[in-house]
Amino acid sequence: MHAILTLIVNGDRRDVGIPEHYTLLEALRYGLGLTGSKQGCDKGDCGACTVLLDGEPVLSCLTPAWEAEGRAVTTVEGLAEPGRLNPLQEAFQVTGGAQCGFCTPGILMSAWALLQRNPAPTREEIRAALAGNLCRCTGYTKILDAVELAAEMLAAPTRARRGGEGGQAAAPAGAVRSPDPAVAAAAPGSGSGRDTAEGLAGEAAAPAVAGGEP
């Protein structure tokens, strides 16, 4: 049976006509076309479908769609502002925290919820917050680096902007588009993302725009 469900997704009120037995993930992907949240295992094992419900990370593949009615749903599409990535997304680009990218939307949401309640998490706290998200590519180190970097960028937007002093100087926090050669050249250690992340840990240096490959 179809019915109309009203959801508040990324701050917007959206009405969606869906079968009553849909999961929240199906409502988002097939009802609203928000395909950022991934359908990985579809049974609670992997975390790729993680969204925030009233700010808390939940698995949308196991959440009946109607449980979300009237509650704030935040998906990965809600992180970036038009034309500008969220600093957390920037940080993943910088450290190479995403490879195939399939796990990334879920990991971003778990990490974003963590940074909202704990702006300066320890490495252990980051690990604990991401313990429900599997990644088959990265080996996790660069993901943890990315969340640490994001915490720094969010805490010190002005410092984190330093590397962009040329053309990008006016850009807001973390608005570094890493493929931009001018910015990449200005950044220290622009070889691999990993060097950059370590450089940052050392002196809270600039953003670290990793030049070439993520």
Partner 1 sequence: MLRLHEYRYHRPTSLGEALALLEEHGPSAMPIAGGTDLMPNMKHRLFTPAHLVALKRIPELHGIDVGEREVRIGAAETLAAIARHPLLRDRLPSLATAAGLVAGPQLRNMGTLGGNVCLDTRCTYYNQTLFWRSALGFCLKKDGDVCHVTKVGKKCVAAHSADTPPVLITLGATLDLVSPRGERSVPVADFFVADGVRNTVREPDEIVVAVRIPVPPPTTHTAFQKLRQRGSIDFPLLNVALAVDLDEGDVVRDLRLVVSALGARPRVVAGLDKIAVGRRLDDDVVDAVARRAFDQCHPLTNITVDPEWRRAMVPVHVRRALLAARTPAPAAP
Ligand X SMILES: Cc1cc2nc3c(=O)[nH]c(=O)nc-3n(C[C@H](O)[C@H](O)[C@H](O)COP(=O)(O)OP(=O)(O)OC[C@H]3O[C@@H](n4cnc5c(N)ncnc54)[C@H](O)[C@@H]3O)c2cc1C
Residue 47 near ligand FES by CB under 6 A: yes
For residue 47, give both structure tokens. Answer: 């975390």
For residue 197, give both structure tokens. Answer: 């992340």
Residue type, 101: G
59 SS3 class: strand
The answer for residues whose C-beta is within 8 angstroms of residue 36's C-beta and 6 or more apart is 75, 76, 77, 105
The answer for residues whose C-beta is within 8 angstroms of residue 22's C-beta and 6 or more apart is 30, 31, 64, 65
Cβ(203)–Cβ(172) under 8 Å? no
Give min distance, CB of 43 to ligand FES, in A: 7
In the list partner 1, ligand X, ligand FES, none, the entry touching 117 (Cβ below 5 to 8 angstroms by class) is: none
Check residue 204 and give left, alpha or beta (phi > 0: left; psi -120 to 50: alpha).
left
Binds ligand X (CB under 6 A): choice among 19, 44, 191, 202: 44
In the list ligand X, ligand FES, partner 1, none, the entry touching 1 (Cβ below 5 to 8 angstroms by class) is: partner 1
Q: How many residues does the chain have?
A: 214
Residues forming a β-bridge with 9: 12, 73
Binds ligand FES (CB under 6 A): choice among 93, 110, 138, 178: 138
Judged by beta carbon, residue 57 or residue 97, the one nearer partner 1 is 57
Give min distance, CB of 95 to ligand X, in A: 28
Residue 48 near ligand FES by CB under 6 A: yes
Binds ligand X (CB under 6 A): choice among 12, 45, 81, 125: 45
User: DSSP of 142-167, one letter per residue?
Assistant: HHHHHHHHHHHHHH-HHHHTGGGTTT
In the list ligand FES, ligand X, partner 1, none, the entry touching 23 (Cβ below 5 to 8 angstroms by class) is: partner 1
Residue 56 near ligand X by CB under 6 A: no
Residues forming the site for partner 1 (CB under 8 A): 1, 19-23, 39, 42-45, 47, 50, 56-59, 61-64, 66-67, 110, 128-129, 131-134
Q: Which residues bind to ligand FES, rule: CB under 6 A? A: 39-42, 44-49, 59, 61, 98-104, 135-138
Binding site for ligand X (CB under 6 A): 44-45
